[in-house]
Amino acid sequence: MESIPHSFITDLRRRGIKDERTLASMAKVPRHLFVPADIRQHAYDDRALPIECRQTISQPFIVAWMTELLQLRGGERVLEIGTGSGYQTTMLAELCGQVVTIERHQHLSQLARSRLDQLGYTNITFHVGDGTLGWPSGAPYDACLVAAASPGIPEALTDQLAPGGRLVIPVGTATDQEMVVVTKGNDGRLHQRSCGGCRFVKLIGEQGWHVSADEDER
């Protein structure tokens, strides 16, 4: 079985990832199992790669960065929007108590579930639907990670955060976004800060980007 290169973690440290739990998870989960076979030789390059349904698996630094920004300590209930390949999902599952993950493409959700079942994860619940609306029946969540770019902060997601909860989401235009951390105070007020530039595929849904039927990538 292909091993994770030592340089993979060294490069993440060099780029500023400091959380040891995040780094340990990145060192444990084999990214090559989450990319198509024909580009598997690029699995540990620090770049996004294409996957099924015209989506992408985020570059390793972005996965580590978003995970670190959530500041998980173990035991949390986390909502993930955009299951994709399931790679980011595994990072959350390694670091928290329970992951609820939503994907709008049924095919991607099924592939991710099969992979993560084979890897032995038992603390993940998979759903297919509009991620911009969250998953209200599982709320409140201690943290939420959105793996797609939104034109604004979906109110449904902040509503489903527990007091003290944290939302990490790319926000901006279709081509240029900022990574935003939203923290919900004990009084329910939202506190927002930008952490730097990034670029993701669009977050499609009722409280995200709207596309016509012929533009939809399903």
CB atoms within 10 A of CB 186: 8
| Single-letter residue type at 17 | I
In degrees, rounded to 5, the angle at the alpha carbon of residue 76 between the alpha carbons of residues 106 and 139 is 60
Pairing of β 56-57 and β 124-128 = unpaired
DSSP letters for the chain? -PPPPHHHHHHHHHTT---HHHHHHHHHS-GGGGS-GGGGGGTTSSS-EE-GGG-EEPPHHHHHHHHHHHT--SS-EEEEE--TTSHHHHHHHHHSSEEEEEES-HHHHHHHHHHHHHTT--SEEEEES-GGG--GGG--EEEEEE-SBBSS--HHHHHTEEEEEEEEEEEESSS-EEEEEEEE-TTS-EEEEEEEEE---B-BSTTSB---TTT---
Catalytic hit among 3, 7, 25, 58: 58
Which residues are paired to 98 by β-bridges?
77
58 catalytic? Reply is: yes
Q: Which amino acid is at 39?
A: I
Active site residues: 58
